[in-house]
Amino acid sequence: MNRSQHNKKHAIIQILKTTSMSLISSYFILLLSMSAVSAETDDKLQLSGFARVVLGYLDESNATYLGYDNSLSLDQQSLIGLQADYQILDKLSVTGQFVARTGDDKDSELEWLYLTYTPTKSFKFKLGRQRTPIFNYSEIVDVGFAYPWVSLPQQVYRTFLFPTYEGLHVQYEYIGREILLGLETYAGGIERNFTANGQVLDTDIDNLRGVVGTIGYEGWNFRASYHRGHADVNQPELNAFRDQLQQLGFTQSAETIKTAGVGRFYQISAFYEDVDYFFRTEVIQLEADLSLAPKTKGFFVSGGVNFYPLSVYASFSKDINRYDKPSSEIPIGLIPQLDALAFGYQQIFSQSNDNNTRSYTLGLRWDWKSNLAFKTEATLLEESNALQGLFTTRDVNNFDGQAMLYQVAMEWVF
């Protein structure tokens, strides 16, 4: 057993001693067996992983958010991910990553399964199932250890349209004397169930493609990207209703019900960090020709100070969501059948209220070991109309659109 493995086990034993929570213990027993496995493998196979235990409490009895309500909850964002990398040939490897999640509406999935071909040190080709690199942290939303927050700024990171794809990703990197340039592009598609606002949607995504450019200079990193894909959300009832409207001659109304269409993402970000400070901002825009997806503009700004091994940070994020308006083509008050039709039509748009949302976060991260961190954060969540936007559910008669969320997390990589 070498020193790092010894240290790893020593750390695990210490943690087991200091906590008695059964859930956490079972996580660590699993992890312990993982590190025992990794000790036996040779150079060609590398096993690694990440785990997070997140405790959350929403100080509000009239709404829920990310599965949290006004009781302490451990099983909304806690998860464990395992990754295996196998070097097949000198320039060819295969990687698989499985993530087991605890949240009710979150699937446990094989998130990554791809071949990597590295013909030169500057080029990398990845073929297979991958996370879509839409925003800075899109590929690693599950790896809490990799970012300062407990929950990523939701105004940017909750957009659900194209989380994964199956296809080809090409990456090129150039290091100049002073700057680092990166260029990547990908293309693919996927048919998969996605969960949005507690609803499971069977979605067929094709013709998904994007381009990402990055520039690194000193402590700065700039990223700009564009992504585009066609999404077909299987909603048979909605399609049947649209056909009925079409047959009755209400073509305008029928056209406003869109279960398939093109989605476009625009992203730009600037990150700065040095030994003492960090600053991050990311701005996004989403346009989708789908009834259930609003046109969204969102951003976050975040800054922090390092007092190694502690860092404190503050974040503000905001988004503006605008939906297509329903048509008023169907006459009301003539005959009951038409009234029923008009009512049914309006019902579809009942969850299409324009809204703005904001989050204000203060947090602290403590890097206890080089692979183990604790975080805590408090977030004030606000949605403008108290009907739709940020919260998953709300009691519309009593909710004022504001709530405090408190979270504590333990993040581990191994």
Binding interface with other proteins (CB under 8 A): 3-4, 48, 50, 81, 83, 95, 97, 112, 114, 116, 121-122, 124, 126, 130-131, 133, 137, 139-140, 142-143, 145-148, 171, 173, 175-180, 216-219, 273-275, 278, 306, 308-309, 311, 365, 367, 370-371, 373, 413
Q: How far is the CB of 119 from other proteins (least distance, A)?
A: 12
Closer to other proteins by Cβ: residue 97 or 352 = 97
What's the CA gap between 56 and 377, in Å, rounded? 10
Q: How far is the CB of 4 from other proteins (least distance, A)?
A: 7
Residue 43 falls in which region: left (phi positive, over 0), alpha (psi -120 to 50) or beta: alpha
What's the CA gap between 314 and 308, in Å, rounded? 17
- Which tokens hold the place of 409? 């997390």
Q: How far is the CB of 362 from other proteins (least distance, A)?
A: 19
- Which tokens hold the place of 249? 């001659």
Closer to other proteins by Cβ: residue 143 or 161 = 143
Q: How far is the CB of 280 from other proteins (least distance, A)?
A: 12
Closer to other proteins by Cβ: residue 216 or 263 = 216
Bridge partners of 195, per DSSP, are 200
What's the CA gap between 123 and 328, in Å, rounded? 54
- Which tokens hold the place of 360? 């204000």
Assess contact for 127 and 252: CB atoms under 8 A: no
Closer to other proteins by Cβ: residue 339 or 367 = 367
Q: How far is the CB of 152 from other proteins (least distance, A)?
A: 12
Q: Give the C-alpha distances (Å, rounded to integers) separating 219 from 179, 180, 222, 272, 280.
A: 11, 11, 10, 5, 11
Q: How far is the CB of 108 from other proteins (least distance, A)?
A: 16
Closer to other proteins by Cβ: residue 132 or 154 = 132
Closer to other proteins by Cβ: residue 53 or 403 = 53
The answer to whether the bond into 133 is cis (omega within 30° of 0) is no
Closer to other proteins by Cβ: residue 110 or 146 = 146
Assess contact for 136 and 142: CB atoms under 8 A: no
- Which tokens hold the place of 110? 């094989």
